[in-house]
Amino acid sequence: MRNLKKLALEIRIETLNMLSKHGFGHVGGSLSIADAIAVLYGKQMKHDPGNPRWDGRDYLVLSKGHCGPALYAALAIEGFFPREELLTINHLGTRLPSHADKNLTPGIDMTTGSLGQGVSCALGMAMGLKLQGKPNMVYAIIGDGEAQEGQVWETMMIAPNKGVKNFIVMLDDNKQQLDEFTDNISSLGDMCRKAEDFGWLALDVDGHDADAIDAAIDKCKSSDKPGFINLNTIKGKGWPEKEAVLGNHAFRGAAFGGVDEVIANLRKELAAMQ
């Protein structure tokens, strides 16, 4: 069986490496979803790096599109494009822009970045596949700040009403948004209870426990309801000095100070798992 913890470490290493080399990027939220991305690409999602548009694939909509670096890292590790291409992120002519773009990057299923809209598109995909009688799963990853958007709640209401059970939404509940803690701006309350009230199978898990995430996805797949997984995460996970502190949404220039040591420590941890 593939080592999902190892894959998550690789994703964090590649994410920090590409963003620090570029000198700017969305670090905090990219690091907090590394474990979920690892589970999806390391075990749960059907995908073919040699044929990114394969009809039999499962779909992922990274609604919090600014965290594309974590997804790019996973795609490169899986072989959708060469790893060295990660260092072109946000450069002129790159296939790896700041926010996920399906017209540029192999393996991206939906262009995202306007927060709140991605999950609506993911629901549309799931409904379309259901109408065609296809078994493909659709996953959406949303942020907790993003969950303050009205379109998210329209999706929460519509999916159960339409019997869309090939659909799993994962909330990156890292307790922060762009410039503040989420509770200080607009608290979400008990998201699992709200999802259940709308008719979803709702599960609350440690978002940095790959096995727990994997088990939650399995449970959602076996349900006759759409699945909602609340990932309890830490923004900036993997960079100890930057974890759960304000100002870790996006870094520029000097804010990357110390990153080489962080990457080296992650590489040592990875080597110990070989």
Tell me the angle at which helices 191-198 and 150-161 cross, rounded to the nearest 10 degrees: 40
The confidence score (pLDDT) of residue 113 equals 85
Q: How confident is the model at residue 134 (pLDDT cuts 50, 70, 90)?
A: very high
Judge whether residue 274 has pLDDT over 80: no
Q: How confident is the model at residue 233 (pLDDT cuts 50, 70, 90)?
A: very high
The confidence score (pLDDT) of residue 114 equals 86
Question: What does the DSSP 8-state code read for residue 144?
Answer: T
Per residue in 241-262, pLDDT tens? 999 999 999 999 999 999 999 9
Per residue in 136-185, pLDDT tens? 999 999 999 999 999 999 999 999 999 999 999 999 999 999 999 999 99
The confidence score (pLDDT) of residue 1 equals 65
Of 56, 7, 78, nearest in space to 266 by CA: 7
Contacts of 51 (CB under 8 A, 6+ apart): none
What domains are there in the chain, each with its CATH number?
4-273 (3.40.50.970)
The confidence score (pLDDT) of residue 268 equals 97
| Burial of residue 113, with CB atoms counted within 10 A of its CB: 0-12 exposed, 13-18 middle, 19 or more buried | middle
Indicate the average pLDDT of the chain: 97
Judge whether residue 45 has pLDDT over 80: yes
The confidence score (pLDDT) of residue 47 equals 98
**Distance between start and end Cα atoms, the chain:** 14
Residues in the chain: 274
Judge whether residue 6 has pLDDT over 90: yes
The confidence score (pLDDT) of residue 17 equals 98
Of 41, 101, 100, 99, nearest in space to 74 by CA: 41
DSSP H or E stretch at residue 251? strand 251-252
Of 122, 211, 132, nearest in space to 168 by CA: 122
Q: Are 65 and 100 within 8 A, CB to CB?
A: yes
**Alpha-carbon span 43 to 4, nearest angstrom:** 8
Per residue in 57-87, pLDDT tens? 999 999 999 999 999 999 999 999 999 999 9
Of 36, 53, 39, nearest in space to 136 by CA: 53
Q: How confident is the model at residue 2 (pLDDT cuts 50, 70, 90)?
A: confident
Q: Any bridge partners for residue 141, and if so which?
A: 62, 170
The confidence score (pLDDT) of residue 160 equals 98
